[in-house]
Amino acid sequence: MHFYSQAAAGQLKILAGRKSIDRLVQDEHTAPKLKTQLQWVQSIRAYAHAELHLPVGSAYSDFTKLDDEYPLWNLIAAPEFSLSPKRWCYPIAGCASYRGYFDKADAQVQAGRLRAEGYDVYLGPVPAYSTLGWFDDPILSSFVDWKPDRLAALLFHELAHRRVYISGDTRFNESFATAVSQIALPEWRRRQGMPKPKVASVEQARRINGLMVSARKRLQTLYKSDVSDEQKRAEKAQTLQRLRYCYRKLSEGWQQDKRFATMIEKTNNATLALVSEYQSRVPAFVQLYKDSGSDWERFYQAVEQLGDLPKAQRKERLEALNKRAQTSSKKVTGPSLQSDTCMSAAN
C-alpha cells in the first residue's frame, strides 16, 4: 500500500504542476532558453503526429517544473546467477522488469532489502517516463534542456508506448519503442537541417553495446553450466572485471558521456538485464519495419499482430527477425572480452 500511495502522490504532484506550453511560449516573461526548448517540443510533437503516425493527443503539451532533479528512480534486480530480471506486477499496467519510486529514499530501502536477499541491484534516476496514455504526460524540467535531437529521440520513444504496449512483456515494449526512435531520428535530423552524428560517437555507442553483449553471452554460458556456485561467483567477478578493463582500454582518448563510464563501473546482472530489455530486440523491429515497406502504419499493424501472439510464439518470431537482421548486416571488427586487445575480427 505504501508503494501505491507514494506512486499516486508523486504522479498527482507532477500533474498539478502543469503549465500550458502554448501559453509559456507566448508569455513574454518565459525565459528565452526555456521558450526555445518548448518550441522544439511543439515541432517534435507535430512531426510525431504527422510523419510517424503516433497518437500524440495532448501528451507533452504541458510543462512541469520539478522540485528535484529527477521525477523517478527505477529499481532493477536480478538473481546472483541469472540475467533474467525480477518482475513486479501491477493492477493496470501488467508485469514489468523494473519498479519506479518517486521517493529516492524508498527506492534505496527496497534496494537494500533485495541486496540482502542476494540479488544484484541497479538503482538509477529516470528523467522521463510514460503513463501509457492514462494521463497526458507533461514535459519535465529533468529533460527539457536536452539537445533537440536527444529530446526528439526521447519523445518518439515515449509516444511509441502510447501506440503499442503489450502487458507483461517489458523487452518487447522497450525494444519496440527504442526501434521507433532509432528509425525515425535520422530523417527527423535531415528535415531539421542537422548534420549526421559524428562517426566517432556512433562507433563509441556501438563498442559499448558490443562489450555489454559480449559480457552477457559469457555470463549466460557460465550460469547455465554445472560448476559450483563458488566457481560461478569467481568467474562472474572476473568477467565483470574484464568488462571494465576493456571499456577503459577502448575508451582511451574518447570525449564521451560520463553516464557510460558510470554504468560500466556499476555493471552487474541487473544492469546487463536492463540493457537487454531496451536493446536486444531492436534489430528485429528494424527488420520488421523494412519488411513493412518502411510504412509506419503497416509497421504498427505488424507489431500489434506480433503482440497478439502467445508469448512463446512472439519470442520465436522476434528471434527469427533478429537472425535475419544479423545476416544482412556487415561483419565488422567488434569488441571482445576474449582477446588481449579487447577486439575481435568480427562481432
pLDDT of residue 93: 62
pLDDT of residue 164: 95
Percent of the chain with pLDDT over 90: 68
95 Cβ partners below 8 Å, 6+ apart? 87, 88, 89, 167, 168, 170
Secondary structure class of 248 (helix, strand, coil): helix
Instruction: Quick: pLDDT tens for 180-198.
Output: 999 999 999 999 999 887 7
pLDDT band at 162 (very low <50, low <70, confident <90, very high): very high
Cα separation, 52 vs 60, in Å, equals 16
pLDDT of residue 211: 86
Region 272-284 average pLDDT: 87
Instruction: Quick: pLDDT tens for 101-143.
Output: 999 999 999 999 999 999 999 999 999 888 877 889 999 999 9
pLDDT of residue 347: 42
Orientation angle between helical segments 282-291 and 170-191, nearest 10 degrees: 60
Region of 251 on the Ramachandran plot (φ > 0 left; ψ -120 to 50 alpha; else beta): alpha
pLDDT at residue 280 greater than cutoff 70: yes
pLDDT at residue 242 greater than cutoff 80: yes
pLDDT at residue 331 greater than cutoff 90: no
Region 1-12 average pLDDT: 83
Region 221-246 average pLDDT: 95
Secondary structure class of 99 (helix, strand, coil): strand
pLDDT at residue 335 greater than cutoff 80: no
The residue ranking higher by pLDDT, 342 or 322, is 322
HEC readout, 195-246: CCCCHHHHHHHHHHHHHHHHHHHHHHHHHHCCCCHHHHHHHHHHHHHHHHHH
pLDDT of residue 263: 77
Percent of the chain with pLDDT over 70: 93
- Please, how many CA atoms are within 13 Å of residue 154, restricted to the half-sphere of its CB? 22
Please compute Rg for the chain using Cα positions. 21
Domain assignments of the chain as residue spans, ordered by start? 2-68+128-191, 72-126, 199-344
pLDDT band at 346 (very low <50, low <70, confident <90, very high): very low
Region 196-212 average pLDDT: 78
What's the mean per-residue pLDDT of the chain?
90
Say which range, 198-202, 235-239, 271-275, 276-280, has the weakest mean pLDDT: 198-202
pLDDT band at 92 (very low <50, low <70, confident <90, very high): low
pLDDT of residue 159: 96
Region of 129 on the Ramachandran plot (φ > 0 left; ψ -120 to 50 alpha; else beta): beta
pLDDT of residue 49: 98
